[in-house]
A and B are shown apart, each in its own frame.
Chain A
């Protein structure tokens, strides 16, 4: 192939872009590659997502822990017939490495990209590493959309051959501080050329609706597809942990209450006093409630003007995606 595949009025023509452009409520999922060279683990997780999502995010050394790279994992997904959204952080690569890897990723069939800052390496398994942060996520969006639309490398040199064309996304953390700046930071990402946005996990729909109101006021929802982040809770402990320890995640008490309620038949019993069967039953009841909460959230988020889809983050619990997507009435996925 010496010329670009026809994009027929699309920027890229990826399934995710076609889905969003057609006005369908999009569903993306997420897959965390293994901390080993086990490609089969990716295939197994991919099988759980296939058919239920329009694109699968592949994390890039998520939480600064070394894993199979997002592009290598994406190659496996392409082979398995799924559409990858490769994540790329500014932490591990400079502008040379990012561009080089994206040339390769395009050549290997990848079409969607999510540009991220990346968690600080101090959280991961190589806290003594030197980080990069040559460019930030906003500069990365501009760089890759310029590669696509201006056919230029970041340095300004023009492409001689095929340019990499990515449907380019960025993240938004609507509830991180300084909270008043968040819509403006989103605007910067849009101005840099972002085509879609995936948000941090939303549990507080009212707070998210307020954010979206500002986003609409600024007209951003007309320039970018916003996919609200959702994820199933496994236990009340997980809900409390996220509320307390994860920056930018708001978990309303009523959701924690619902998770507590699900474990009520076993209330008052210490874990040490419970039989294996009881523990399993409690865990199952809580997980079912977590999935139901996720379904309810999707339905509420769908009502908010400017929300173009959801990004379902069920990392290490990919089995949950099927019941969530089905339960939310989003299955089967439209064909585009």
Chain B
């Protein structure tokens, strides 16, 4: 899932400026699961904004609404009226949700209430860890299902750097070394051969380095008029 964390309240207040009517828009998908921008967080944020702006002597009228998925037009259509009434929309979806609102409602001013952090998973209650950087050319098949792009601090493809120690990465004793994990897993499965060959320079053009990416699935596109 996409994980995110709420921005500090002061930063959010700065982003809202001196507007009067604020609509907080939550999202019912990834950011709900990571407790950053779901219905509950939207309500909480709305009420703390009401409270602090009142204390500041510039009370804002803050309401909230949560849609199932902020990254799809059809769910945004459901809240068109609320969006149009607001002076400013505070989206607490991931960056995609914020942009979806800006794109779908060009007249509206939308600001982000979250910092979108990574693609990851909850490894224990209250802990999320990065797992994928959407490189566009997945190598998990040779690395035993452990991603060296996202989980190695240097995205190395040919094995561990000299900084790997006691299972952790040189950058922090709390960060596991991806290549230690890969090595252990492949050794356990008698598959070390997979990493003995030299992996050539990666084609990063499928990642963001190739420019903003787009997927076109003709089989799924709606038929055009002429056909």
Which chain A residues have a beta carbon within 8 Å of chain B's beta carbons?
90-91, 95, 117-120, 122-123, 131, 133-139, 142-143, 154, 171, 173, 176-178, 180-181, 184-185, 187-188, 191-192, 200, 247-248
| A133-B170 in contact given A117-B162, A248-B165 (Cβ < 8 Å) | no
Most buried by B among A91, A154, A176: A176
Q: Is B58 positioned at the interface, with any CB of A under 8 Å from its CB?
A: no
Give B187 Cβ to nearest chain A Cβ, in Å.
Answer: 8
Which single member of B158, B164, B192, B204 contacts A177 (CB below 8 Å)? B164
Give A219 Cβ to nearest chain B Cβ, in Å.
Answer: 15
- Asked if B163 contacts A248 (CB within 8 A), the reply is yes
Which residues, 114 to 162 on B, are CB-close (under 8 Å) to A? 153-162
- Asked if A173 contacts B153 (CB within 8 A), the reply is no
The B contact surface, by secondary structure, is: loop
- Asked if B179 contacts A117 (CB within 8 A), the reply is no
Give A318 Cβ to nearest chain B Cβ, in Å.
Answer: 23
| A177-B156 in contact given A154-B201, A187-B196 (Cβ < 8 Å) | no
7 contacts between A and B (CB under 8 A): A117-B154, A119-B170, A120-B170, A134-B204, A142-B198, A176-B160, A177-B177
- Asked if A138 contacts B198 (CB within 8 A), the reply is yes
- Asked if B170 contacts A247 (CB within 8 A), the reply is yes
- Asked if A119 contacts B163 (CB within 8 A), the reply is yes
- Asked if A181 contacts B201 (CB within 8 A), the reply is no
CA A173 – CA B165 in complex, angstroms? 11
- Asked if A178 contacts B201 (CB within 8 A), the reply is no
* A-B pairs with lowest CB-CB distance, top 10: A173-B162, A247-B165, A138-B158, A117-B161, A178-B183, A177-B164, A135-B201, A176-B162, A136-B156, A133-B154
What is the number of residues of chain B that contact chain A, defined by CB distance less than 8 Å?
Answer: 31
Chain A residues, CB < 8 A from B177 = 177
CA A21 – CA B162 in complex, angstroms? 28
Chain A residues, CB < 8 A from B166 = 177
CA A181 – CA B181 in complex, angstroms? 12
| Closest chain A residue to B159, Cβ basis | A185
Chain B residues, CB < 8 A from A142 = 198, 200
- Asked if A248 contacts B180 (CB within 8 A), the reply is no
Give B197 Cβ to nearest chain A Cβ, in Å.
Answer: 8
Give A127 Cβ to nearest chain B Cβ, in Å.
Answer: 10
CA A173 – CA B159 in complex, angstroms? 12
Q: Is B184 positioned at the interface, with any CB of A under 8 Å from its CB?
A: yes
Q: Is B59 positioned at the interface, with any CB of A under 8 Å from its CB?
A: no
Which single member of A120, A123, A139, A188 contacts B201 (CB below 8 Å)? A139
Give B101 Cβ to nearest chain A Cβ, in Å.
Answer: 28
CA A180 – CA B202 in complex, angstroms? 26
- Asked if B158 contacts A176 (CB within 8 A), the reply is no
Which single member of A138, A176, A192 contacts B164 (CB below 8 Å)? A176
Which single member of B153, B180, B200 contacts A120 (CB below 8 Å)? B153
Q: Is B167 positioned at the interface, with any CB of A under 8 Å from its CB?
A: yes
CA A138 – CA B202 in complex, angstroms? 12
Chain A residues, CB < 8 A from B162 = 117, 171, 173, 176, 200, 247-248
Q: Is B9 positioned at the interface, with any CB of A under 8 Å from its CB?
A: no
Chain B residues, CB < 8 A from A181 = 159-160, 183
- Asked if B165 contacts A136 (CB within 8 A), the reply is no
Q: Is B84 positioned at the interface, with any CB of A under 8 Å from its CB?
A: no
Which single member of A138, A171, A177, A192 contacts B165 (CB below 8 Å)? A177
Which single member of B157, B170, B204 contacts A136 (CB below 8 Å)? B157
- Asked if A188 contacts B179 (CB within 8 A), the reply is no
Q: Is B171 positioned at the interface, with any CB of A under 8 Å from its CB?
A: yes
Which single member of A91, A139, A200 contacts B154 (CB below 8 Å)? A91
- Asked if B159 contacts A133 (CB within 8 A), the reply is no
Give B188 Cβ to nearest chain A Cβ, in Å.
Answer: 12
| Closest chain B residue to A172, Cβ basis | B162
7 additional A-B residue pairs with CB within 8 Å, beyond A117-B154, A171-B162: A120-B153, A136-B157, A177-B180, A178-B179, A178-B180, A188-B159, A247-B163
Q: What string of 1s and 0s marks CB contacts (under 8 Å) between B185-227 and chain A? A: 0010000100010111110100000000000000000000000
| A177-B160 in contact given A120-B170, A247-B165 (Cβ < 8 Å) | yes
Most buried by A among B158, B170, B204: B158
Chain B residues, CB < 8 A from A191 = 198
Give A115 Cβ to nearest chain B Cβ, in Å.
Answer: 12
CA A136 – CA B202 in complex, angstroms? 10
Most buried by A among B161, B170, B180: B161
| Closest chain B residue to A136, Cβ basis | B156
| Closest chain B residue to A131, Cβ basis | B154
CA A192 – CA B199 in complex, angstroms? 10
CA A143 – CA B200 in complex, angstroms? 9
CA A143 – CA B158 in complex, angstroms? 14
- Asked if A177 contacts B167 (CB within 8 A), the reply is yes
Give A328 Cβ to nearest chain B Cβ, in Å.
Answer: 25
- Asked if A188 contacts B198 (CB within 8 A), the reply is yes
Give B177 Cβ to nearest chain A Cβ, in Å.
Answer: 7
